[in-house]
A and B are shown apart, each in its own frame.
Chain A
Amino acid sequence: MTDFYQTGVITTLHQLGKPSLERLESELHGFAKVRPIALVLPALYSEFEGPAMPGIIKELAKVSYLNEIVLALDNASESDFQRVREMMAPIPTEVRIIHNKGKRITEVYETLARNGLDVGIQGKGRSAWLSYGYVLARGRSDVIALHDCDIVTYNRELLARLCYPIANPNLDYVFCKGFYSRVTNKMNGRVTRLLVTPLVRSLQQLVGPHKFLAFLDSFRYPLSGEFCMTTDLARVNRIPWDWGLEVGSLAEVHRNYSPRRVCQVDIATTYEHKHQILSPDDASKGLMKMAVDICKSVFRTLASEGVIFSDGLFKSLLVTYLRQAEDTLMKYEADAMINGLDFDRHEEAKAVETFTRSIAMAAQVFEENPMSTPLIPNWNRVIAAIPDIFEMLEAAVEEDSK
């Protein structure tokens, strides 16, 4: 059980006591009549072959308040697509699958490209963005929830808690981010613990109080892939298609809405999913790549809000970050000790060194081209360029479903 302390500029919804799942779900049933809920699942075919997706399907089969499920399937052949359809069949909610490698969806991407709309390369960002478009095209839901498809410890309570703050019309929230502790026999979530939080606090130290930094620092798990939002927000938000997806999305939420309308909710006591390799020597993959993309996204957001990044600032940032990260490391070591968790100090220090290099690389890329962070245009702009894109997207998914 957590405490009930409210931190930062956004609302934190804790898990206090043992709230009944049945009560939550029955209330959601009522709310869903006024605000129908769509669930977006960006998935790779490999996740259906592992233990995660079959478990998620089993849990989703017990959920009855959802209006529709949109699965954006990547890295799947035609036969894989058919197999996924069969696997999703036990779910009672209407399921629509966006086959990202199918000829129809490929043509939709080509239509966007030839009209000057860069939607980036394959990945979670692009899949999520297209799924929002499909939900908007159908116009049947007012709320969109999204979670990853590699959660091994998935429980339908996660979904209920994630949807509740947005689906409840008495709470005036437009965006809700999930948080949880990533603990097994050790603490996971290295990028959040050792990069994002120390980086944000170092920047606060260097540039002084800043609204976006305060907003970002308010999230307990800013990189969590689970969130829920209104369809209005999905329409106006631009999202990055690289690893800066989570931070970039938060930046857009901060830009478009007041922090009073944003909350975070405790969605799980345990959360386990696939882990990325650190890849300290190769910036094109693993956590190193993720770290570079996140830093670029933070720098770009701050620059767009008027913060001037000079060579001196970047040099100071490296030193300040290193000090912050080392202090953080000591805090986590103490936390691990009292909870009897394994703590490999050497591995953690290696991660900090890798992240320091990532910041330097991101700074270099940013100085060379401050506009390099990719953002997918929002749906309002896409409709302005191609008025019939929603009909085309709907037709593509419907034909694939036959």
Chain B
Amino acid sequence: MEDFLDLILDPLTTLFSKFKVFFPNFLAMLVILLVGILLAYIIKHSLVKFLTAIKFDSWSDRMGFTKLMRKGDMWGKPSTILGAIVFWLLIIVTLMSSMNALQIPVIDNLVHEFFSYIPRLFSAAIILIVGYVLSGFISRGVLIAAANSGFHYAKLLADAIQTLLIVLILAMVMEQLQIAPSIVLAAFTIIFGGIVIALAIAFGVGGIDAARRIIEKESLDRQKDETPDEIDHI
């Protein structure tokens, strides 16, 4: 009878002892989660207020970030959207940290991978922001230079250059995030190589006459230089 009772009580005792170990961890997880959400909320509000104070929205309007957001059908204020992004990043970090408190090996591994991925996420974001600003700057420079030299398709050229630069930046970002790097590299090589070959062929075929004229003019000039002076000097 005692054996039978042990048979019933043992699992319960084990379960209770496991629960005794798990419960403080669970409480810690809840506390981390609550504090994290509260902190994320406060940080988000402070960040939005700070960004509004430094006129981040107007700056974004001028630098082209707002346009980028609108093209992605995001119609909030840039400061509010940045605040929301930071908030949700903090929530994810909080969630990961709180799950870490449970001390379950599988989750520990997941958390470790997540935190080791964060530096890549940051560097990708920096590449994206700096690259986008630079592409806008270069495109505007090309537009001004081409328009001033009377090129009819200045806007088209500037837009094409910006698009190409954005493709390049996106490839770099994807590579940084380690999202299908081999496919991204192959796709990028094919697209860029294709464009360069297309340009080379277009320039080569279209420039045959111009090249012939230049070469002919060059050889004529040379012939003229080589013709002896027909005037007899005294």
Residues on A lying within 8 angstroms of B by beta carbon are 103-104, 107, 110-111, 114-115, 385-389, 391-392, 395-396, 399
Contacts and interface: CB of A to CB of B under 8 A. Distances in A.
Interface in B77-124: 77
A115 B57 CA distance: 9
B70 A110 contact: no
3 pairs of A and B residues whose beta carbons are closest in the complex: A388-B67, A395-B70, A107-B75
B73 interface: yes
B3 to A, nearest CB: 71
B58 interface: yes
B207 interface: no
A399 B64 contact: no
Contacts of A104: 70, 75
A391 B70 contact: yes
B64 A110 contact: no
B135 interface: no
B144 to A, nearest CB: 12
B139 to A, nearest CB: 11
B83 to A, nearest CB: 16
A385 B75 CA distance: 19
Given A388-B67, A391-B70, A396-B75, 6 more contacts: A107-B77, A111-B61, A115-B58, A388-B61, A392-B66, A395-B67
Contacts of B77: 107, 110, 114
Interface of B: 55, 57-58, 61-62, 64, 66-67, 70-71, 73, 75-77
Contact of B66 (A103, A385, A388, A399): A388
A223 B215 CA distance: 68
Contacts of A387: 62, 64
Contacts, number: 40
B64 A111 contact: no
A137 B55 CA distance: 26
14 contacts: A111-B57, A115-B58, A386-B62, A387-B62, A387-B64, A388-B61, A388-B64, A388-B66, A395-B67, A395-B70, A395-B71, A395-B73, A396-B70, A396-B75
Contacts of B75: 103-104, 107, 396
B58 A391 contact: no
A387 B75 CA distance: 18
A389 B73 CA distance: 15
A386 B76 contact: no
A107 B76 contact: yes
B73 A111 contact: no
A122 B206 CA distance: 54
Contacts of B61: 111, 114-115, 386, 388-389
A110 B52 CA distance: 13
Contacts of B64: 387-388
A391 B69 CA distance: 11
A385 B58 CA distance: 9
A399 B73 contact: yes
A103 B77 CA distance: 12
A399 B76 CA distance: 14
Contacts of B73: 395, 399
Contact of A114 (B58, B67, B70, B71): B58
A111 B62 contact: no
**Max chain B Cβ within 10 angstroms of own Cβ: one of A104, A111, A114, A388:** A388
Nearest to B64: A388
A385 B61 CA distance: 9
Nearest to B77: A110
Contacts of B57: 111, 114
A392 B67 CA distance: 6
A181 B66 CA distance: 48
A111 B66 contact: yes
Contacts of A385: 62
A288 B70 CA distance: 42
A272 to B, nearest CB: 40
B56 to A, nearest CB: 10
B70 A392 contact: yes
A336 B64 CA distance: 61
A114 B55 CA distance: 9
A386 B74 CA distance: 18
Nearest to A106: B75
A100 to B, nearest CB: 15
A399 B57 CA distance: 22
Nearest to A110: B77
B60 to A, nearest CB: 10
Contacts of A107: 75-77
Nearest to A105: B75
Contacts of A388: 61, 64, 66-67
A221 to B, nearest CB: 40
Nearest to A104: B75
Nearest to A386: B61
B76 A391 contact: no
A387 B67 CA distance: 10
Contacts of A396: 70, 75
A140 to B, nearest CB: 14
Contacts of A115: 58, 61
A399 B72 CA distance: 10
A176 to B, nearest CB: 30
A219 to B, nearest CB: 38
Contacts of A389: 61
B184 to A, nearest CB: 27
